[in-house]
Structure 1
């Protein structure tokens, strides 16, 4: 029997016409394996075993970034237990990231997923259900066929149908990609229904937050604009009216900021003009219009350079506020994921014997005891190491409570245009302290 593999670089596989051409190509060439290179997606193979393959999928343009496990479960319930263990390890690896599990599990989850019905769940079904609960995943919303497998397409008397294929996702997947859904297509030439996960391109994107540019406070008309928008304060409590006034100011302030264009390009353009104007004056020193133009260019460049500097100082401070404080939920989530990835689930000794679970720690201890040996307990030498020791009075003084006046004095001492230091304070604060 001939065995064929193929590879085809074809851009834009979300196009239905190209999808049909790709399917026709596979059928006509009778390919066993065909890889389509899609330049809009990055797919990283992480782990592959007999029954499951874990990949990381990222869209080059867009916010789609998730882990995907493709499953082809064994017909044997005993062999499927290896799959359940493998999926549990993959869950630890995925951690807090979005995760979808798609494929043929070769076992139903509930009694009603068999066309003939039944009174009790089998042992295989119970094990599958326990695994789903352990993985903390659930079926995604789907359309198309309910039963994904038929016993025989060719037999007109066959009425056995089961739901063996499914799409399972974790909570983070539902939170980040809420518009994704599944589709179970007609059987066609196979007794299994094709499974498709669809990501809508127009799922809601997070709106950009309002960014106030400090430099526009020095522009003509700023105070008049604020006064005009603030006059009609509306009805309601003071805090509600304050918030509404701030919201009304967003668009006018954005328009004022955008009217100055790209400050960096403007400063470069005026700088080049500032170089050309003196050359023109040098060639025609008695031309008053050229001198006026040169003076005008100088004033415009000074103003643009000042705006550019104010914007850069503001960006530096915002960057610190964004990345300086690492005590965030995102940071701890990433730390948890890294800890799960670093967890050792199985280890082999020098003789090739495998140890799992609680036996792993014992083998580490046994290895280092054999490698380093054991030592007798020694007396602590702290008194010889630490010569200078604070008195109780000095130690108590160092942990005194900070008063509100001291906090206020420190915060008001920070320049509004000065970037914070590594711990949130400026150098002037330390000098004063």
Structure 2
């Protein structure tokens, strides 16, 4: 019957077989002491050693005093180790641990004083527990009496080592005593479960006090408020009473809202993954909530059809990425070859001119998702600097074909080169941001240049990238602002 269990009893110390101690085979537990009212064992684990004392106190107060002396002796031997004592002490510690304490008042018997003295002298304390306060009941209808005769005590080393341990007092069942359950160790999920179990009574009490029949209470409070409003209008009540009840109604309505919201969440968690009607209803509700039903375009026109809204969204993101410029023409490779005077090795040329597959393009940098960029790469792309240098190299080669002089013909030649670069690369000259500086040119020539180009004339001195540009040799005075900025950076 007990094939997987070891058993220890105190038959040798008492004739009526008072205590049984059982533990599963494989647990390293060995007996230390046994007498008519207790059994003490030693338990070894991978990390520590601790002692357990099972107690069944005598019904006789005078005979029970021998167990208190035995506990003192055990403390002198094992008190430096974690030690737990539990069982039926057949007496209680405090007057409130008896259901008749309202009648007896601040009462302490000799048995209680003996017990209190041992607990205080040995620095023992009740193990943290949850469950009923009383552990024994006489089960008499007319002379009801309940007391805490069963308890679990621990010493300071146990408190320090087993900080997460606890005791649960279970329902008494067929016995008139409650069973005490004390897991020494457990996995994290078990600990969480038991902590939530301990929290459950407090949550039930909170729910009963604050959310019981909440909808009915809200309805009754509304009726009360309507009645008080009538009394206020008739001059029978002050406005303060009406405001007080209105505040109470608002508080009840907020509680009702939170209660119903939480109830909906619980129901959703329970049923949403079962393909139930609630699940499909929740999905449909979310779908309806997320649908865009109306848009307003840049012209202020209201768009309420799905086709119009879809076209507006597509056009918006296409405009964000830019539009193609019809003035930008394909590049003539012969022109570039003549400008750069550069030829590639045959194998490199073959590699660069071979047919590129659609899959290679998709996997390369030019894949931009659903909305394709129409004007090359976006600003901030790592390739932008390299492509800009390549374009400026072409501009420099074309610029060398034109002789720059301080007359209208030279300026027109330069602008035509810039316009040609625009057709090749899409880099267009912004006339409103272009300025020119002159030295030794007549007013008539200046007027003709400004009229032909639309450029704005500026005058020296001017700074470019912090460096002063002047028509003469730089002096120390010209460089003072630049030197001051450098010194400021060095001292920063």
**TM-score bin (small chain):** 0.3 to 0.5
Higher relative contact order (CA closer than 8 Å, sequence separation 6+) = 1
| Greater Cα radius of gyration, structure 1 or 2 | 2
Structure-1-length-normalised TM-score = 0.38
